[in-house]
Structure 1
Amino acid sequence: MTSITTDAKASRIGHKQPASITRAGTPLPVREKRPAYIALGVVLIVGLAAVGAYLYTQAGKKTPVVEVVNHIAAGHKIGRSDLTTVDVAGGVTAIGGASLESLVGQSAAVDLLPHTLLQRVMVTDAPTLSSTQAQVGVEVKPGQIPAGGLSVGDTVEVLQLPDKNAAAAAASQTAPSATVLVDNATVYDSASDPSQSGGTLLTLVVPRSDVAAIATASNASLVALVRVGK
């Protein structure tokens, strides 16, 4: 009996049983899920998607602003037909399209060129004439202005032509020459004269002291205008 017991112990010592045996059909252990990390991931995804959507919409967002259509010389009043609106994207400094009507009747503070986006500093509602200036209208025939005509904002020299009757009476003497009435006037407005073919009606900004002489010469059809440099 003693021998059998000893052999049984030796057998158990030589063949150790494994610490644990996974039985067939038992599910494998899994790692514990962490809900906090999952929630954080969802928040990040949603947040990044929202930021991306905002940047996309801002990149394509356009705002209507006021744009100049016609050339407007400094000091000239702005008409409705001189302006329009255009949609632009990005941080553009310009007057909003909703304010377009409020600009009509104001004056250009500087020369405004077509396709310029209008800014507040470019317009003024202050008087366009100083106390020493005046506007005077003149009527000219073809040949009394440059063949290409005159444009608003042009600087001109105003001449008084000699009277043809006086020139004929003094034919034996030295022919009279033109007299410079104003050497630096500005064309404020220009339009075709409906009363004569090829004629032009002009409004000039001139010194107040020269208005009477210019009006008299224009009434006698003795005014000629010469475009000069500024």
Structure 2
Amino acid sequence: MSAPRQVAGPVAPPRVSARRRRPGVIALSLALIAAGGAGVAVLLLQVGNRTEVVTVIRDVQVGQVLTEQDLGTASMALDPAVKAVHSDDLDSVVGKRAAVELKPGSLLAPSQVTKDSLVKAGEQLVPIGLKPEQVPATALVPGQKVQLVHVPAQGSTDTDKTSNTTPQTIDGRVVKASGAAPGTGVVVVDVATTAEDGPTAAAWVSAGALRLVLAAPGGN
């Protein structure tokens, strides 16, 4: 007679011991998660605060009328202290004149455009060449008030007669000032004067008997 067959009993699953997490590891994990969330929040905030602004894409001279071809738009995170024309207002600046020289790649500020002609009705534009020693240290900007002073030309026989008299002056306003010419350093300044004073100022320039003086702040 054969031996009775043994029946295997149920197999108990292996016991897995629970691993205890160290408090330091848990704290570090929570800190990394928090830092990552803060970084994402800052990134989303920066993206959300981007502003559509108007940019300059072509050279624009002082007094030139702005066209759509001169301007473009860009989206950027803009500091509240920076004054720029928003893209929604682009149509409002097209057709206005550049109050200053505009360069490609720059933002367009409201103060850089004007609806007024820089040479008004009844005025004349007088170009004045200034030698390096005659150029003021203060930068000449459009709209700046100046005086054109008549001075005796070198070698003039009227020097003694006019030395004790008040020189003749003409009020003017800077429309544009060029950069210094290579080699000579001469700066050409376009000055607007009244139609009556324009020919006189031009004659002084031709005779080399004119000097440009900056008017005091608040002066006419």
Give 1:157's match in structure 2, choosing from 138, 147, 170: 147
Q: Alignment partner of 1:136: what SS? A: strand
- The residue that corresponds to 1:186 in the other structure is 173
Per the TM alignment, residue 104 of structure 1 is displaced from its structure 2 partner at its CA by: 7.1
- What do residues 104-157 of structure 1 show as CA deviations (whole Å, max 9, x unaligned)? 7732579x9xx98645x9744553433222222111223334244533332111
Give the distance between the partners of 1:87 and 1:164, measured in 2 at CA. Answer: 57
Partner of 1:198: 185
Within the alignment, does 1:175 sit opposite 2:178 as a pair?
no
Picking from 141, 146, 157, the partner of 2:136 is 146
Letter paired with 2:189: L
Q: In structure 2, do the counterparts of structure 1 residues 138 and 81 end up closer, same or farther at CA, with 3 Å as the change threshold?
A: farther
Please say if 1:211 is aligned against 2:202: no
The structure with more radius of gyration: 1
Task: Check the 8 A contact 1:106/1:125 in 2, yes or no.
Answer: yes
TM-score by length of 1: 0.50
* Closer/same/farther in 2, CA of residues 218 and 58 from structure 1, 3 Å limit: same
1:130 aligned to 2:117? no
- Of Structure 1 and Structure 2, which has the larger fraction of its residues in helix? 1
Amino acid at match of 1:151: V
For 1:201 and 1:82, locate their aligned partners in 2 and report how far apart those are by CA, in whole Å: 28
- Cα distance in 2 for partners of 1:128, 1:174 equals 35
Q: 2:87 aligns with which of 82, 96, 114?
A: 96
8 A contact 2:63–2:117 mirrored in 1: no
Tell me how far 1:93 sits from its aligned partner: 8.6
Q: How far off is 1:222 after superposition? A: 1.7
TM-score of the aligned structures, taking structure 2 as reference length: 0.52
What is the aligned counterpart of 1:87 among 60, 68, 76? 76
Q: How does 1:3-42 map to 2 (within 5 A)?
A: none
- The residue type paired with residue 175 of structure 2 is Y
Alignment gaps of 5+ in structure 1: 1-55
Which segments of structure 1 move beyond 6 Å, counting only runs of 4 or more?
A: 56-59, 78-84
Gaps of 5+ in 2: 1-42
Q: Deviations over 1:56-94 (max 9, x none)?
A: 9798432320268xxx9xx8447799998452479x994
SS in 2 for 1:165: coil
Count of aligned residue pairs for this structure pair? 162
**CA distance in structure 2 between the partners assigned to 1:141 and 1:177 by the alignment:** 26
Give the AA of the match of 2:188. Answer: L
- SS of 1:209's equivalent? coil
Question: Do residues 64 (structure 1) and 55 (structure 2) align?
Answer: no
**Is the 8 Å Cα contact of residues 65 and 88 (structure 1) preserved in structure 2?**
no
Residue in structure 2 matched with residue 43 of structure 1 by the alignment:
none
